[in-house]
Structure 1
Amino acid sequence: MSVTKAKMQKLRGEIAFMKENYPGLKPNFSAMSKEIGISRQTIAKVWKDPTSPSKPRQKRKSKFDPYYQEIREKFEIQSTTIKAVFQYMKARYPEVFTSYDSFKSYVRANKLTEVREEYLKSHVR
């Protein structure tokens, strides 16, 4: 289950309410799990220490990261498409650029298409 910030805030609010209004009573973690959508183990962990911060997630490195600058430069060229940049990069580095879908996801995650749009805005015809 994925735990969103909203779910964790709701959980911490409910636990704070229960501890304040019903001291000494332990809630049914399974019932709370079904209600909120968080695993019962996570609810038990928050019950023991409601102030503990969530672990920050580390950004996963992509196989395209070493080529970021080159990809960015290609998107600065007028009227460049994701497919065109992928084909160019695949011709230069065929062992790295094997999947168009993963490249497209990388481009969108790094907002590289916005670079092209900014470039086009600044160069009005």
Structure 2
Amino acid sequence: MTAAVPGFFVLMSLIVALGAQNVFVLRQGVRREHVGLVVAICAGSDALLILAGVAGLDRLESALPWIEGVARWGGAAFLLGYALIAFRRALGPGDALDPRQRALEAVEAGHAR
């Protein structure tokens, strides 16, 4: 058995698992907010990260030592930005839990079609 077959199943298990990114993509799809852009960014970043892992970030870091700092601080900045967005959303009004507001949005969405 070649490495491609187990690799394919590992990839499928990562895609099928409902992690934070997949839930985010699904939520944006349900809201119909920037769906294409969100899918493109998520798929592109996943492909880039998989490619970087396969190609060997360690080898790249050996050749270009400054890459380690860029990866570390870039990743930290991304996670901090994502955390701030989630924190801001948590502080906002909880209209997603208000059944009357959700019903009104559903009716408005039905009339918009």
Compare CA radii of gyration and give the structure with the larger one.
1
Provide the TM-score with structure 1 as the length reference.
0.28
More helix by proportion, 1 or 2? 2
Provide the TM-score with structure 2 as the length reference.
0.30
